[in-house]
Each structure stands twice: as structure tokens, then as C-alpha cells.
Chain A
């Protein structure tokens, strides 16, 4: 195998390794990120994790600072003690060497052996070849003697490891000052830290220098032991603290969690849930207060329920009780009405009036009964597969029958069948109610009915171009007997319960009924029903507000606040336009060939504005069935 091929193979292997390592790194990064996210979740949600982590972090910091302070102190003391002892030892050694070197004269004496002898007097060892080490109260030391100024050629005559003495210290001692310095010397790869104390020797015929090198090895060892002990102790302490905190915080968190569970179950309707009260501590007081709160809430809910039931039963009873005499009155009135031609004019008119009001009365009673049945929950859904388009047509036809030709009802229906499992009677009633309401408030403008469907839901929107709704009234319109303008003249004579019944019917289907309105721009009611009663609906096939509403009154869509994410079906403006276009096309196709619808709408705009301008709060359009 040649070297090149081997190199290639190696390079290839490295590349493969790198390729393999990259996904591993990425996976690791993903894993770490997930863990981090999971921890963040835990951090946000768990008081215990937060407290324990905080205690861990804070106690670590405290232990660290404490350890540092302790170690600093110990190091400081050790060093100070060592330096003092070394200083004392150096002073003693200086005296000894002063005696030893008394009268030594470089030039006439064998200086190296004199210096070696002087060192011998400091050390007990007699061997010359190995490094001389003496022991003292300050620990072992290596003495050095030097005659820095002795030789004319600048050479230094010395005994002992003179090279280990730092130059700064030499300078100080040569200037007749005793000095100490810490230095580190590396010999044969082993570095040793010394305290070097230097002292001038003055007894010889020229100044010489004595240095004592005290190795700090044992001190370093001691400090290492202290540091290790502190680290281990600190870790154990922190862990113990964390454990203790965990135990303690659990005592607090466990009742809190229990309370959370109880409150959640309470909110879910288990009104009998109560917290356990143990002892007299804060948790017990919290439990007590919560229990009192729950008690009071439960009582009030019961009272309200009872009150509501009482009211519903009362209205139901009243309706029932009124029915019997009403039947009698009705029959009597019908007799009178049948023979009204025999009565004088005024009387005949009264009879007609009576019969009309009796009709209304009957309708009202019927609605009352219906709504009280809905309230009592006794109404049953009778779903069957029907084409919603047919229901819309039927409803439109029946409403046309009532109102005649005063208002045009435009049907905007899809081409294909829109089948759904719904209670046809109820849906038809809803649509009738909506159409009646739209005609009622449509100010004679055409009313448009749009049907659309997706795979899960069908929607029917009833759009009018009348006075519209003021902000906030979208919810109010479904209230019973709610009127936008109490003084408003009734045209269709709704009972005020139609929309409420419609809402209940829609709910019965598991659907939704929503309203939208703008003053002057008209209103739109959208019924969304699941195709099957058990289905959950998440979005509606039709937009609300309607596609033709937004550009005229609302600010441009780009400046709108971010739409709530709960409306994923909210179409983009472009889609809105497209839908509107489709609708127009469908309208032309499906309802009538009359092309003036578009014009009407464009013409209706200034009219609506004018009306809005003229309208006073006193003659606001009246809502309700």
C-alpha cells in the first residue's frame, strides 16, 4: 500500500467521521435545546424547582465566597507565620554566618571553601555534593552564601544554589538591606516555590550576602488539602441545603398543589370539593378561607340556580296557565271575527285588532313555552340528513310569504348539495328568525342569504344592509326581549325571543350563532353547524364580518391589530375579495338575473351614511325576533 493511498484512506475516514460527527452534534444540540425548553417549562410551572434551584445557586455563591474567604485567611496566616519564622531564622543564621565569616578576606583566603564552611555551620549535614538542607523552626531551608562584589570580572563566588535567588532580592541585599521575597524556581521540570530571605553579612572584609530558601511545599500541600476539604465540604453543604430546601418546600408546595387540584375540580363543577384543614398554620387558614369562599360560592350558585329554575318554571307555568283561557278567548274572538261584518265599523275594527293581538299573544306564548322547554333541557334533537340549501329556500319562501315584496331576499347558494345531519324544523326556524330579523331591520334593502360548507361544518349567513349594530351589541342581540331601540316601530311584530331561541337551537346542534354589525353598514348573522351533531366545529366556512363589510368601514387590513390566533379561518384580504367576487357571481346566477344588485349596493352606501347621520339614539333599529 502506498503512502498516498494510505493518506487518502485516512483522510476519507476523517471525513466520514466528521460527517458522522455533524449529525451527532446537531442531535446533541437539539437534545440540549429540548432539555432546556423542558427545564424552562418546569421552571415556570414548579415553585419547588424554582425555589430549590434558587437556593442551590445562592447557597453555592455563598459557600463559594465563604470558601474563598476562609482559604484566603488560611493562606494568609500560613504565609505570615512562615515568613515570620523564616525572618527569625534568617536573623539567627545571619549572626552565625557573621561569626563564621569574621575576618574572611577574599584574595587571601579560599573564599569558596570558607563560604561552604559557613554554610556547614548552618546545616548539620556534612556532605558537600548533595544540596545542603537545614531544618529549623521555620522548616527546612537551603542556605546560600554569595560574594557578589568579590571578583573583578563580575563573577560571583557563592555556595549553595545561588541561581535560585531572584535578581531583585540580590539587588536589595547587596544594598545592605535584609529582604524577603517569594519566588518559584523550576529545576528539572519540578517547580518549587520558596520564601527567600536575604541578609547582608558584614563581618568579612567585604560585604557578602546570605540567603535562606525556605521551600513552601508543605504550605502548598496544606493549602491544597484545605482547598479540597472546602470544595468537598462546600459541595456536600450545598447538596444538603438543596435537599433540606426540597423537603421544606414540599411541605408548602404539597398543600398548595392539593389546593390547586381542589380549586380546579371546584371550577369543573364539583362544588362539594373542600380543602382539608390540618392544624392552625397559614395553610390551614388558607384552606379555611378557601372553604368559606367555596361554601359561599356554592350557596350563591345554588340560590341562583334555584332562582333561575323558579323563574323558568314560573314562566312555563304562566304560559301553560295562560293557554287554557287564551284558547277560550281565542275561540270567542274567532266567533266574533267570523261575524264581524255584522258589527258596526268600530266594533268590527276592534274585533280585527283583538284577533291580531291574540295571534301575537299566541306566538309569544309559543315562544315562551319553547324557550322554557329549551331552558329545562327537555328539548330533543331530531337529526336527519337534509340539504341545507333546501332549508334556506324554504325559510326564504316562508318569510317572503309574510312580508310580500317589500324586501328582496337574495339567495346565494352553492351548486352542489349541502347535506347535513340537522333537525330540519329547528334549522328552518333559526333561518326564519334570522330572515325575519334581517327584513325587519333591513330598511328595505335586499337581504342576502349565503350558504357555504366545508367537510366538517355548514354555515348560513344572513346579511342585511340596514342600520347595523353598534359596537357591543353583537352579544346583546341574543338576549331575551332585548331591543336596540325600545321605541322603535315594529313591523314584523317579533316576540323578542326569536334570536334567543335560535341561539339555543344552534347550541342544541353543537353549532354557533354569531352576529356582526356596523352602524350604517348593516348586520350579518352567521349560523355555523356541524355536519354531524357530535362533531366539534373549529372554524366556519363563511367569514364574519362578511367579506363586503371590511373595506368600507374598517381601517385597512394592514393596519389592523394582529388577529387573534383562535380564528385560523380568517381569510386574507385577497381571499376576501375573491369570495366577494364569487358571491356576486353566484348571486347573479342563483337568484335573479337582475343585475342591479351591485348598483344597489353601491348606491345604498350614501343612503346608509345619511341614515346614520340622521338617526338619533332614540330611533335606533330594534333587534330581536
Chain B
């Protein structure tokens, strides 16, 4: 029995072993994939991961610069919303964020603000809304259509230049109610419409400079760039400069910067405080051309950067060999086009047939100062001293007037031309013909004349092609700008500015622009206050003297105090006071807000003041 038991046990043990063996093998087999997986995981760890989660680093950017945009008042009605939207549209910051606060519904994302900015007069209307009955019936928030209408002034295009326009603006703006009851603009045409004054609060006029065709003088071209942020101004100025001359100047000014040149980096101050202009894609240029280009850049930046030197580079290396940094003082003063007044000898005045000095009232030496020629008007060429200057005199003779030319203190004069009536003559810098004092412009009996002296001093008179000015009416005053590129006339009471275009000896006035016909319609005289500014005397009682920007956007009336309308003559130059003549005499003013002061040395009515030019 015992043996049997043992046998049985062994039998069982044997069975158990038989069962246990495959079990062990199967567990081993199960472990193989686990091991392989482990190996693969290890191998995977040893390689560079393909993807990780972001890890925050400790050099953060500090506080966000995002500023909160003021929201329109909750209780503003539809008309207020439209009005405020027009005002808010002037601020381009953050893609017109403040204007977008007035938008709702589909317009919020759909409104595009790029393109030209349309400027309207300060007084604009919003006609009362008319209900959209269908929307009201549908139970949806009512949509009101507000008509916005105003006086068109012009447009600031994508090149930041202003182009005047006339007429009225009429726009339909849909205003709807948001769920919270506040009104928002829900539908409007693309593009920015704002008033001129609000526009000028957000945009700053800057002059970018091009050259006249003879590359002798820098010609300003007015652009409007966003004021804020101020640190971005230089970049915007350079961007504007690189865009080339604006349309009115397009055939009268040249730029040395090829059209496809861009900036390599943004125009910013570097660590040393210099303003870095790094140009890209510059072709090969002569050193002189580079210098002229530098002159354009430095002059253009001078309006927004008074202190920092300008480092001009091309692809990271100085543009002008051996001279990386420039200041406006490094440029020859002749580039500025004779706008600087000779302080010690500040112009003349024609009074009672005599030419007197504005400085002390003393007469000009010679017959011109002694009423020999019956001088009613005159012009002095732009020179450093009176003694070097040439004089152009309009003298009264029987049945008409004569245009005479003489050197400053000469006893004799040359009669160049005779006609029934001359406008005050205007000296051209005459780059083409040998310098100041060799070219003279005037209007004789409505015809624009150009008198040119040859090398021997013989004068010849040609007619200037002024057909472009013909539609504006008879020309009663003409002033060449002191750089000789622009010409401003009073035609039919309006101020018209054109450019002088010389084409194979023939000279024409082209691209006429009427400046602010809404504000200036009775002009009597004008003079160049600067290269891009005019001082206009009018017979309008409310605005006897007006300062106009040459592009026609800005119109700033001078203080009317002390003046007696109408004014009859005006002269102006960059540095000196504007001098006007009215019935009471001569008055001078340095600023548009200043009260007119009597010119101290010359008194009496009928005097015609004239600065060189």
C-alpha cells in the first residue's frame, strides 16, 4: 500500500513537472515583448525627442504693451456713434483699434482701414436715421441707416501724400443695436473717413526731400505720417522718402534713390544713439550720387530727428566711404534753396515810386531809390549781401509799365520788357543759366513771361506755357519758389500751385493744384514762406492773411488783430516776419497767432514790401 502511495505521488509530481514546464516557457515568451519594449523605450530615450511640451524660460518680455482702447459711452445714440467714429478714425494706432471700438456685428472684422484716408471738412452732417422696417418687424434689433455727409478736402494716399479734392462726401452707415442695447456701426464702406483737424492731431506732416532736375537744391515733399509712437517716426519718414516724389512733383523733382531700394533693417537708434538707416538692394552708384542720396535722407530725417547723427549704411556697410555718420550741418547750405534771409539786410519796400530798405527805410542807392523809375513793384535776387544782388523793377510809364533790370547800386538799368501791367517779378535761382540774377519771371497782361539773361548780360523774354493754369482765371500774382521748382499764382482769386517743368528749352507750368478753394477764394497776393508753405494775403475780412501748405491740406489763418481789410500786398521768407501791406501801412508778424505789429521803419499806405526772391 505504501509503495502504491509513493508511486501515486511520483506520478503526480511528474504530472506537475510536465505542466510546469510549458508554463515557464510561456511566461518567458510573454516576457520577450516586454523586454523588447523596454529596449525600444530605452533606445528612444537616447535620441533627441521629436516633440516636447513648451518650457517657460525666465527671460520674459516684461509687461505687455497692449493698451486698452476706450469704449464708446453706453448711452450714445446712433448719430453720436457715427460722429465719434469719424473722429476716432483718425487714430491709426493698432490698426485703428479705437475706431473699431465703434464697430459691431459683421463690420467689426470686415471693415478694412487700409488704403487712402478721406478727409472732410470740420463741419459734417449726419442725417437723422431712417428705420429699416423689415428688420424692426422681424423683431431683430433695428438697423438704422445714418447718412454721413461732409465737404471733401482730399485724400491722403498710400504714399502718405495729400491730394486735394473738391465736392461733397455722402456715405450711408448702418448702425445697429448690440444685445446689451448699445449702438454700434454694423455696416459701412471700407476706408477711413475723418476730419482734417482730427487727422492732423494723429498725423504729423513731415518733409521728405528730393532734388530739382539739376540736382542743385533739395525740394521738400509733404507727407503725413502717424505721430504715435514717436520712436517709429524715422522709419516712417524713410519709408515715405523711398516711395519717391508724390504726384504733383513727379515730373519736376528727382530722387537719387532707385525705386526698388528698401531698408534692410528698420530705422532705429543704435546703442550709440545714432539713427541707423540701412538700405538694401542698392545698385552701384558714383560717390557724388551717394552724397546726394545722403543729403536727401539726412534732410528728410531732420524734421523728426534733431539731435542724433544719422548713420547711413548699405547692407550694413557705410554708404559713403569713410564717413558713416551725418548731420544736417554736413550738407552744403546751397541745397536749402536760398530761403535763408540775410538778417542784416532784410529786403526792400517799394513806396511811392522809390525803393527803400526794410532795415532802416533808407532808399536804395541810385535812381531806383529816387523815384526816377516810378517803381511800383520790384524783386531782389537772393544773395548774401544787397550789394551783390540784382534788382528787377516795375516802373510806371505813360500807358503802361516797364520791366527793368539793374545791378544793386547801378545808375542805369536795362529795360527788358514793356506791357500794360506786370505782376511783381520773381527771380529764379536760374540753375540752368548761370545762377541767381539771370532768370526772372513775371506776368505781363495775363501772360507768364520768363526773362533770361545770357552770359553777356543780354536779356531775352520768352513765354512760359501756362495753359495748365488757364482754367483758374486771370493770374494776378506769381511767385516762383526760391528753389525754383514750384510756382504759386493767384488766379481768379484762388491760390494755385504748379511745378516748373523745363523740356528742351521750353518751360511749362504743370500739375496745378488749387489750394483750399473752400478757405481762400479772394487772394490778392502771396509769397513763399518756406519751400512748402505760402503766405497769402486776401481781401476776405475774416482771414486777411492765411498760411497754406503747398499740398493744400493745411490752412492756417493769421491773427487778424490790427489789420484792416483788405490787405494789398504780402511778402514772406522762411526766417523773417511776414510783412503785409494794408490800407494803413505795413504790418509784420512772426507767427500765425501773433498780433500784427506795425513795421517800424517804413510807414504809410501803398507800400509794397518785398523780400529777396
Residues of A within 8 A of B (CB): 64, 68, 71-72, 75, 78-79, 87, 90-91, 94, 99-110, 113-114, 117-118, 120-121, 124, 126, 149-154, 166, 168-169, 171-172, 176-184, 193, 197-207, 216, 219-220, 223, 227, 555, 559-561
Contacts and interface: CB of A to CB of B under 8 A. Distances in A.
A88 to B, nearest CB: 9
Contacts of B95: 106-107, 150-152
Contacts of B398: none
A101 B231 CA distance: 9
A562 to B, nearest CB: 9
Contact of A223 (B48, B58, B59): B48
Interface stretch (B164-172, B261-269, B336-344, B574-582): B261-269
A395 B61 CA distance: 124
Contact of A168 (B46, B53, B57, B315): B53
B55 to A, nearest CB: 5
A524 B56 CA distance: 98
A401 B100 CA distance: 145
Q: Is the interface of A mostly helix, strand, loop or mixed?
A: mixed
B108 interface: yes
Nearest to B8: A559
Interface residues on B, range: 35 or more
B366 interface: no
Given A71-B46, A205-B94, A177 B281 contact: no
A504 B64 CA distance: 116
Interface stretch (B232-240, B403-411, B517-525): B232-240
A202 B336 CA distance: 39
B64 A113 contact: no
B66 A72 contact: no
Nearest to B10: A561
Nearest to A65: B42
Nearest to A70: B46
B201 to A, nearest CB: 13
A198 B56 CA distance: 9
Given A108-B228, A207-B65, 10 more contacts: A105-B94, A117-B262, A121-B265, A124-B316, A168-B54, A171-B54, A176-B63, A177-B56, A200-B64, A205-B93
29 contacts: A100-B266, A102-B232, A103-B233, A105-B229, A105-B232, A106-B95, A107-B97, A107-B113, A108-B92, A108-B226, A109-B236, A109-B239, A114-B266, A121-B265, A121-B266, A121-B278, A126-B264, A150-B95, A152-B100, A166-B54, A180-B54, A181-B54, A182-B48, A183-B52, A207-B61, A219-B48, A220-B47, A555-B4, A560-B7
A100 B265 contact: yes
A103 B266 CA distance: 10
A94 B93 contact: no
Given A105-B228, A152-B95, A223-B48, A181 B53 contact: yes
Contacts, number: 202
B332 interface: no
A120 B57 contact: no
Contact of A202 (B46, B59, B63, B269): B63
A177 B51 CA distance: 19
A178 B56 contact: yes
Given A178-B57, A181-B55, A207-B64, A102 B231 contact: yes
Interface string B33-57: 0000001001101111111111111
Nearest to A157: B95
B109 A152 contact: yes
A78 B46 CA distance: 11
Contact of B7 (A71, A172, A559): A559
Contact of A193 (B50, B59, B63, B281): B50
Contacts of A169: 54
A75 B61 contact: no
Interface in B192-225: 225
A178 B230 CA distance: 27
A105 B93 contact: yes
Nearest to B229: A103
B270 interface: yes
A113 B11 CA distance: 91
B280 interface: yes
A182 B49 contact: yes
A326 B235 CA distance: 152
Contacts of B93: 105, 107-108, 205
B179 interface: no
A103 B265 contact: no
Q: Which of B4, B92, B265 has the largest number of chain A CB atoms within 10 A? A: B265
Residue from the set A105, A151, A203 with the largest chain B CB neighbour count within 10 Å: A105
Nearest to B314: A126
A220 B43 contact: no
8 closest Cβ pairs, A-B complex: A103-B232, A103-B231, A108-B226, A200-B61, A107-B95, A103-B229, A71-B46, A108-B92
Contacts of B113: 107
A206 B66 contact: yes
Contacts of B48: 75, 78-79, 182, 193, 216, 219-220, 223
Interface string B327-365: 000000000000000000000000000000000000000
Contacts of B139: none
B322 interface: no
B459 interface: no
A152 B46 contact: no
Contact of A107 (B7, B11, B65, B92): B92
B96 A107 contact: yes
A180 B266 contact: no
Contacts of B53: 168, 181
B280 A120 contact: yes
B70 interface: no
A113 B236 CA distance: 11
Contacts of B52: 181-183
A217 to B, nearest CB: 10
Contact of B61 (A87, A126, A202, A223): A202
Given A75-B47, A100-B265, A105 B226 contact: yes
Contact of B43 (A68, A110, A168, A206): A68
Contacts of A110: 239
Interface string B103-137: 00000111101000000000000000000000000
Contacts of B505: none
A87 B65 CA distance: 23
Given A103-B235, A109-B232, A207-B65, A87 B46 contact: no
B62 interface: yes
B60 interface: yes
A176 to B, nearest CB: 5
Contacts of A560: 7
A117 B235 CA distance: 11
B25 to A, nearest CB: 13
Contacts of B57: 87, 90, 177-180, 197, 199
Given A107-B95, A117-B265, A126-B281, A152 B51 contact: no
Nearest to A184: B50
B94 A68 contact: no
A172 B54 contact: yes
Contact of B65 (A121, A126, A181, A204): A204
Nearest to B271: A99
Contacts of B46: 68, 71-72, 75, 223, 227
A521 B128 CA distance: 138
A71 to B, nearest CB: 4
Contacts of A75: 46-48
Contacts of A561: 7, 10-11
A68 B109 contact: no
A106 B235 CA distance: 13
A106 B50 contact: no
A78 B47 CA distance: 11
A103 B113 CA distance: 20
A500 B530 CA distance: 154
Nearest to A124: B316
A178 B61 contact: yes
B62 A202 contact: yes
